[in-house]
Amino acid sequence: MLADVFGVDGIIVLVVVVVLLFGGAAIPKLARNLGSAKNEFEKGLEDGKKASVPAPAAPAVLPVVDASTQATGVVSSAPAAEHIQRS
């Protein structure tokens, strides 16, 4: 890909300039840091995909409607089994 843009001569000049700027000892550190940054980026993408999956919805609590509710207009949020036991 770079050879298409710069040509072989351009690649050689680019490598020489990088070696002169960073030095021979710093290039492996730079490559290692780039690799770990890539891994962290991919890990963040995976975490983002996992977080975007919606969690299953909790069951809704339906109001209990009976004769006393119709008379008073007050709706109880208690489960039906508890409401029946109180009656």
Contact 41, 50 (CB under 8 A): no
pLDDT at 22: 80
CA distance 41 to 37: 6
pLDDT at 38: 95
pLDDT at 56: 66
CATH 1.20.5 fits 2-52, yes or no: yes
Q: Which regions in the chain score pLDDT beneath 70?
A: 1-3, 53-87
Instruction: Give strand pairing partners of 76.
Output: 64
What's the pTM value of the predicted model, to 2 decimals? 0.40
Angle value at C-alpha 24, between 6 and 8, nearest 5 degrees: 15
> Where in the chain are the domains?
2-52, 59-87
Which pLDDT tens digit goes with each residue over 66-83? 665 555 555 555 555 554
Alpha helices in 23-76 (DSSP H): 26-52, 67-72
